[in-house]
Amino acid sequence: MSFVRMKGETLRRFAYTQIRMGVDTPIVVYAAQEAQAVEACRAAYTRISELEQQMSDYRVDSELNLLCRDAVGRWRRVSRELFYVLWRAHRLAQQTDGAFDPTVGALVRLWREARRTGQLPDPQTLQAARARSGYRLMELCLRRRAVRLKVEGMQLDLGGIAKGYACDHALRVLRRYGITRALIQMGGDIAAGDPPPDAPAWRIALAEGGETTLARGALSTSGSTEQFVEIGGARYAHIIDPRTGLGLTRLILARVRARDGITADSLATAAAVLGKSGIQRLQRLYKGAQIEVWEQAS
């Protein structure tokens, strides 16, 4: 435990970790009292659990999955949080011509099956899943905060955007408890508030080695290097290339710095699909973000 004196008040560093949305979720905060840190972090984890119940595609009874069953051919009103994330995802889908697409759930399910069985889906199965994917099949009504799906059996998937959004909310909760110096990580998504009292920024270790710094912003990493299944000599990553309906096969790592987690997370997933040659347009649209892509020459 480190101690830092500031303006007559001693701030101490507290670190916790729990599993949320299927990943380790460490939170580090500076607070005057342990009780304050404990209470604030508990509230932050609770908030993330609530968001998970809204947005998870793994939980049968999540708001997202109920929506998939309920909204076919009719408008369904959803919670503010779910609507906002669906709206951001849909907008990014339009901006990337569907490279980022929150309706790829049916294809993600096939990928998970392939990981289990070691076999690619047969062409008919793949075709059927593709017919149930495509952001144009999801309609949003801002005025009514409602969603309508055009095709039976569609599966929405917010795996490429929800963790970043959850990080943003966690920081917000901590602030309500008087904690501004905080850092949260959910898998490849990191969001930071103010830096530690004795440093200009948080130091972040990078998966590929080395480190970087972060303060009052978010940093997300996406790519094909961590989660993939190997079939017939090819590697299929857990990020779907909507053009093929299969996992990305080229080796790619995308990293995005942005003002908030929802932006960094979703842009990193989008950039992983778009590749080096496709990110310029995205960069022009999101001027405040810094998008980097490393790609194996093919």
**Which of positions 156-185 make contact with ligand ADP (CB under 6 A)?**
157, 159-160, 163
User: Does 160 contact Mg ion by CB under 5 A?
Assistant: yes
**Piece in contact with ligand ADP (CB under 6 A), picked from 4-12, 100-108, 114-122, 207-215:** 100-108
Per CB under 5 A, the segment of 56-64, 87-95, 221-229, 283-291 that binds Mg ion is 221-229
**DSSP states of the chain as a string?**
--EEEETTEEEEEEEEEEEETTEEEEEEEEES-HHHHHHHHHHHHHHHHHHHHHH-SSSTTSHHHHHHHH-BTS-EE--HHHHHHHHHHHHHHHHTTTSS-TTTHHHHHHHHHHHHHS-PPPHHHHHHHHHT--GGGEEEETTTTEEEESSTT-----TTTHHHHHHHHHHHHHHHTT--SEEEEETTEEEE-SPPTTSSSEEEE-TTSSEEEESSEEEEEEESSSSEEEETTEEEESSEETTTTEE--S-EEEEEEESSHHHHHHHHHHHHHH-GGGHHHHHHH-TT-EEEEEE---
Which residues ranging from 255 to 294 are in contact with Mg ion (CB under 5 A)?
265, 268-269
Q: Does 221 participate in binding Mg ion (rule CB under 5 A)?
A: no
Shortest Cβ 77–ligand ADP spacing (Å): 24
- Is residue 245 part of the contact set for ligand ADP (CB under 6 A)? no
Pick the binder of ligand ADP from 104, 173, 289, 291 (CB under 6 A): 104
Among 193, 196, 217, 242, binds ligand ADP (CB under 6 A): 242
Which residues 224-253 are close enough to bind Mg ion by CB under 5 A? none
When CB distances are held under 5 to 8 angstroms depending on the partner's kind, the choice from ligand ADP, Mg ion, none that residue 159 binds is ligand ADP
- 261 near ligand ADP, judged by CB under 6 A: no
Residues that bind ligand ADP (CB under 6 A): 100-102, 104, 108, 157, 159-160, 163, 187-188, 222, 227, 238-240, 242, 265, 268-269, 272-273
Residues that bind Mg ion (CB under 5 A): 160, 222, 265, 268-269
